[in-house]
Structure 1
C-alpha cells in the first residue's frame, strides 16, 4: 500500500509540473506569435518617370523567408507597367566592408493578374550596427536599362514558427532551410511548408559590383526532408506525435509536409535531409526513448518552434 501511495504522489507531481510548464508556454504564446497575411509597401524606389514599389507581409522585411511583390508604375499616370529583364538582389555589407547575399529569386516572375513581379528573399541576419542590407534592382523599358539600389532594414523574426537554419552539408555545400508556414499552428495536424536553398560557389573571379555570379543561390531540387517533431522540455520527455509527413518538393518549389502538434509549447522539428539518391546530406536520428526530467536530444539538423 505504501508503494502505491508513493507512486500516486509521484504521478501527481509529474502532472502538476507538466501543467505548470504548459501554462507558462500559453502565457508566452499570447504575446509571441504574430500573424501577417496582408501585403503592404515596404520600400519604394524612383528613377526618371518610374516608381518601383516592393511589398512584403506587414510591410516589413524579417529575418527568414519573405515573399515579395515588386511593382513598376508610371509615376505620372499611375499605370502599372509590364517591363522586361527585371532582376532583384539583396546584398549585406558588414562593418569590415565584406559583402554577402542570401537565398533570393534573382529574376522575379510576372503575375499578370496582380500586375506585379513575384519573388522572395531569405534574409539570413537582421539589420544591426555591424551589418546593413541593400536591395539592387534592374529593369528595362524600351531597350533602356535602369539600375537602382536602396538600403532597407531587416527586422528580427519574433515568430518562432518562421525560424530558419543554415549549415554545411556532408557534401560540402552551404544550405539554408527556412520555415514558411504555418505562421500560427493549431493543436492538430498542420501543413508544414519550408524552403530549401543552396549557395552556388562562384566559378570565376567577379566582375564589377554587384556581379550576380558572386551572389547566386538556387532552390534545392528533388530532396526529401525527413521529419521527427519532439517536445524537448524536461517535463515533456522529448515525446513525439503520430501522423507526421516528411517534406517533399511541390510545384511551387517549396517543400510540403505535415506536422502534428498534440499540445501547445516548445517543439523541435528534427530533420534528416536526403538528396535525390537518398544520401544523407545532414541530420541524425533521435532516440525514441521517453526521457522525463532530461532535456530532449536533437538531430544535428533541427529548427525550434513555439506556439
Structure 2
C-alpha cells in the first residue's frame, strides 16, 4: 500500500512539473507574431545634392537580417537617380570608441523594374547607451557624395528571426541569420537563412572608413545540417520527421525544411560543414526521449518560438 501511495505521489509530481513547464512557454506563445510584407520608409538622409530614402519591413531596423531598399532623388532636378554606383557600410562604435561592422552588401544592386537599390544588413546587436550604429552611404557620379546618419537598431522580438555569431574550428568568424518563416505553422516549413563570414583584413587600417577592415561575404557551398528538437523538460527532447538540411540556393541564401509538429519552444540544432565535408562547428545531440529533463543542445544552435 505504501508503495502504491508513493507511486501516485510521484506521478502527481511529474504531471504537475510538466504542466508548469508547459504553462511557462504557452504563456509566451500567446504573443501574436506579426508578418510584414510591405517595405516602408525607415530613414531619410539628405545632402545638398541627394535625398536617400531607406525602406525596410515594418519601417525599422532590427537585430538580425534586414533587407533594405534605397530610393534616391536628385534634389536639383527632383528626379529619381538610376544606376549610379552606390555603396552601403554600417559601422558600430562601442563605448571605448572601437569600430566594427556586420554582414552587409557593400555594392548595392539596382532593380530597374522596381526603381530602387537593393541590399541587406545583418545587425549583430541592438543600439543602446554604449553601442552606436551609423550608416555610411557613398554615391559615385562625377565625384563621390558621402552621406551618413546615426540609426537605432531595435531588438528582434520575433524569435523565428533569431541569429547567432560564432568562431569556427578554422578560426574564422561566421554569422547565421534566420530569414523565413516569419510565422511558422504546425507543418513542414520552408526554412531560409543567410550565412556570412568576416573577411580578415590583410592590410593595416587606412583612412576611416576603410572597407578592407569591414568586409564580409556570403559563405559559398557549405551545408548546415539540421536537427530540430523541443528542449522543454515536458517535451522530452521531442523531434520531428521530414526535415531537410540547408544548402545554398542560386541567390546565395540557404534553404531547407523544418517540420514543427506542435507550437512551443524549439531549438534548431546545427552541424556546419564546408564544401569538403570538414566540420566548422556543431555537435550531434542525443536522440533519446528524456521526459522531465531539459533537452541537450548542439554547440551550434538557434532557439525559436511560435
Question: Is 1:174 aligned to residue 168 of structure 2?
Answer: no
The aligned runs of 1:108-127 (5 Å cut-off) are 108-127=108-127
Q: Structure 1 residues 295, 84: CA separation in 2 closer, same or farther (over 3 Å shift)?
A: same
Equivalent-residue separation in structure 2 for 1:198 and 1:165 (angstroms)? 12
Distance 1:264 1:18 in 2: 16
- Measured after TM superposition, the shift of residue 106 of structure 1 is 0.4
Structure 1: distance between partners of 2:15 and 2:77: 66
Q: Which has the larger displacement, 226-235 or 43-52?
A: 43-52
* Match in the other structure for 1:185: 184
**Partner of residue 296, structure 1:** 295
Relative to structure 1, is the Cα distance of residues 52 and 6 closer, same or farther in structure 2, using a 3 angstrom cutoff? Answer: same
Match of 1:71 in 2: 71
> Mind listing any 5+ residue stretches in structure 2 that lack a counterpart?
none
Contact 1:267/1:305, CA 8 A, preserved across alignment: yes
Structure 1 counterpart SS, 2:252: coil
Counterparts of 1:96 and 1:3, CA distance in 2:
64
Offset, 1:37: 1.9
Which residue of 2 is the match for residue 137 of structure 1?
137
Aligned runs of 1:70-89 on 2, under 5 Å? 70-75=70-75, 77-89=77-89
2:100, 2:279 → 1: CA distance? 27
Q: Secondary structure at the match of 1:31?
A: coil
1:225 Cα deviation (Å)?
0.2
Say if 2:50 is the partner of 1:50: yes
What is the match of residue 27 of structure 2? 27
User: What secondary structure is seen at the aligned counterpart in 2 of 1:84?
Assistant: coil
Q: Please list the CA deviations of residues 258-280 of structure 1 after superposition, one character each: whole Å capped at 9, or x if unmatched.
A: 00000011000000001000111
Cα separation, 1, equivalents of 2:172 and 2:270: 17
CA distance in 2: counterparts of 1:84 and 1:7, whole angstroms: 75
| 1:160 has 2:162 as partner | no
Per the TM alignment, residue 108 of structure 1 is displaced from its structure 2 partner at its CA by 1.1
Aligned match of 2:236? 237
SS in structure 1 opposite 2:25? helix
CA contact (8 A) 1:14 1:235 kept: no
Matches within 5 A, 1:251-270: 251-270=250-269
Q: Calculate the aligned-residue CA RMSD, in Å.
A: 2.1
How many equivalent residue pairs?
A: 306
User: Structure 2: how far apart are the matches of 1:12 and 1:37?
Assistant: 47
The equivalent of 1:148 in structure 2 is: 147
Tell me the TM-score normalized by structure 1.
0.93
Structure 2 CA distance for partners of 1:10 and 1:261, relative to 1, 3 Å: farther
Q: 1:297 to 1:9 in 2, by over 3 A?
A: same
Q: Aligned equivalents of 1:38 and 1:23: distance in 2?
A: 34
- What is the rounded CA distance, in whole Å, between the counterparts of 1:5 and 1:261 in structure 2? 38
